[in-house]
Amino acid sequence: MRVNVYGSSLAAWVATACLAKVGNEVVINETMACDNKELNDISVIRDEAGLLDELQRQMDQGRVSRQSKDSIVKADIYWLALESNEFELAEKIIGQLRGLRSMKTLVVSQCNFSVGATASLQSHLGNAGDVVYIPDNLQEGVALKGFSTPKRIILGLDNDAALTKVKALLRPFSSKLEGLQIMSSREAEFTKFAITGMLAIRLGYINELANLADQLGVDISVVQDGMGADPRIGRHYLSPGCGFGGQNFHEYVSKFSGVLKDHRQQSLLKTVVDENEVQKELLFRKLWRYYDGKLSGKRVALWGVSFKPGSASIDNAPSLKIIEALISQGVYVRAHDPEALDNLRARYGDKKLVSFHEDHMEVLENVDGLLLVSEWPLYWSPNYDELYKKMRQPLIIDGRNIFDKEMMELHGFDYLGVGR
């Protein structure tokens, strides 16, 4: 089939790559001016593992082409993967589609605008076609896999006639599909927001418990095991840490908390979002307390600055808040990350206090502390003796609880975890 994808987001590029891979001819209409940037200059592509290669391959085989002109190429399916603030653009595209007067057009929207947005687009399109909503399962870091072999798909659809075409489109991605849930577009939109919010609340709650555990001298990992063993709760999204980040997750949660706040004065989710911002500075506060607030002139190493392992993105990452706090106190920040250094350099390249290091052991030279912010696999099992030797003060503050507290203390480190 011919598919037109609209958008410049990660979701748009992932859809382009995956739809082309299964044989569709895909034209991607880049909605943000990319000035015909090379693919490897586009950060959302570069930052997502495997995406650049896949897109390149599909382009070489002629199944993907890029278009930035403001005109419509006829297609079987129009796939909208716009940013949540691009609703007007979506309306404009729908307007153009209506002008085509083609036979039943199918529009798949993956955009998280708001509850009721799909229905509104449908009324815009009139009877020239159908708009369906398929919320993305996008998990940055494993986005390609998430698109190609989803376990669940939610399909928001207000007219059964579109179902056959949608099913045909999704068939190549159904090998591991356990459930296709069909509901109205409004319900699907609400569900997407609700899932994201629920996950955020779980994280917010375990973080709050961890901070309390810190104060009460309880090990949160033991509590976490106990909680996770209860089938009503389960183990996923139950690891405390120094705050969640990432462009999408943060954006959805904030947006939905805004919706809740519009309808109710107080929103639980708003509190979670606010508290998460506080949590992002947790490692800084632990360092501050360790040194009694005397941080000026100290040297501190950061391991992992991306918002999570497997991604080069630093959007809303806790590392940013930590770096801001450290340089405000006159601390020398030595940063290491397997992927995100370029992005970090673009942001802090002009700051004398921040240096960027390719080697995760070299970054530790003479430091007064190591802050582990993002748990790349590279960090999980370091050479402890070398680590100890390199550091001026053997202080490790572990924002993801990846190290064993007793083991670290055995090696002579001062170890501070989250809730331990």
List of residues contacting other proteins (CB under 8 A):
278, 281, 284-289, 292-293, 324-325, 328-329
CB of 392 to other proteins, least distance (A): 21
What's the rounded Cα separation, in Å, for the pair 340 and 395? 24
Closer CB to other proteins, 330 or 412, in the complex: 330
Closer CB to other proteins, 176 or 351, in the complex: 351
What's the rounded Cα separation, in Å, for the pair 114 and 120? 10
What's the rounded Cα separation, in Å, for the pair 61 and 28? 15
CB of 267 to other proteins, least distance (A): 16
CB of 289 to other proteins, least distance (A): 6
Closer CB to other proteins, 221 or 279, in the complex: 279
CB of 176 to other proteins, least distance (A): 44
Tokens of 340: 């995100």
CB of 285 to other proteins, least distance (A): 4
What's the rounded Cα separation, in Å, for the pair 158 and 132? 7
CB of 309 to other proteins, least distance (A): 26
Closer CB to other proteins, 19 or 373, in the complex: 373
Closer CB to other proteins, 245 or 309, in the complex: 245
CB of 314 to other proteins, least distance (A): 19
Closer CB to other proteins, 208 or 281, in the complex: 281
Closer CB to other proteins, 25 or 281, in the complex: 281
CB of 328 to other proteins, least distance (A): 4
Scanning the structure block, which residue is given the tokens 């960090």? Answer: 379
CB of 288 to other proteins, least distance (A): 3
What's the rounded Cα separation, in Å, for the pair 206 and 147? 29
Closer CB to other proteins, 281 or 365, in the complex: 281
Closer CB to other proteins, 5 or 325, in the complex: 325
How many Cα atoms are found within 13 Å in the side-chain-facing hemisphere of 419? Answer: 24
What's the rounded Cα separation, in Å, for the pair 298 and 296? 6
